[in-house]
Amino acid sequence: MEKMDLEKLYSPSMWNKRCAPTDVTTNFVKLGQDATLRARKNTRCEIDVPYGPSERTKYDIYGIDLPDESPIFVLIHGGYWQKMSKDEYAFPAETFVSQGIKFICVGYDLCPNVRLREIVSQIKTAMRKILQYASKSGSRGVWVGGHSAGAHLAASLLDSEWLQQQNSTLLKSLVLLSGIYFLEPLISTSYNEALKLESTEAELMSTLSIKLPAPVQNLKVMVVIGDCDSPAFIEQARELTKLLCSSVDDVEYKFLRSGIDHFSIIENLAHHDFPLTQKIIESINNSTV
């Protein structure tokens, strides 16, 4: 495939039908910053909880005044592993807290300052600490969401060795939103200038390469994509779903219509009446430890 074709296929902003590609990304950042500022003003929160030694290896907890046993929803931000931060991603914080769900947004170091494998390791460390926090507080469970590159990082938790080391009864679900899971096509795009992926590393870091030795039980994985996302992202979501069905007992593929694109899928989680917001909250409320 021509490099120009790959560049467009792996540029989600090119496929939205709302506005120009540059406008949709600019608006997304502004909406995320505003949502985060509102959440920090309107909810009781603890900002910049460290889980690692660097400035970005921190997470924010919203709803710290909720009961200790409250469920927790964790969100890992996107940005192609090289942009964005937790300070621009608290879209659903107020909505979830209003429903009795603590919300945690996780930051991490970015490429090219670190390699992708280091980011994956950081996310596993962050989740280990969050699960320990949940266990100590008596939480009913932890749900982990990821958007775009964050969906890849959330899916990296489907690692048999890592899962065996955690409190598996607390980790309830992965919600993978508009993710990218097979990384080799990125080698021939401009995104690889920061990622510096080579073929072997791209394969090792790809979620589509995972092979779990035994069925994963008591963990639901929801793979979500919008009808106005990139065709490449839509195809990767389908391929991941097929792969997971051979390893995970509870897998759901959700294709959102009505013009949902790569950015509106997470922007709309701020709204109570968005069907995906309702579905996630219902799933959390219906679950027990």
pLDDT in tens, 111-148: 999 999 999 999 999 999 999 999 999 999 999 999 99
> Quick check: is 229 catalytic?
yes
pLDDT digits (tens, 9 = 90+) for 156-180: 999 888 888 886 689 999 999 999 9
Q: Is 262 marked active-site?
A: yes
Tell me which H or E stretch contains 55: none
* Catalytic residue flag (residue 178): no
CATH of domain 3-158+171-284: 3.40.50.1820
> Which residues lie below 8 Å from residue 146, measured CB to CB, with a gap of 6+?
75, 76, 78, 152, 153, 154, 155, 174, 175, 176, 177, 179
pTM as predicted = 0.97
Tokens of 221: 């994985």
One-letter identity of residue 248: V
Among the listed residues 77, 147, 152, 262, the single catalytic one is 262
Structural domain boundaries in the chain: 3-158+171-284
Catalytic position from the list 11, 13, 148, 230: 148
| Active-site hit among 70, 139, 229, 264 | 229
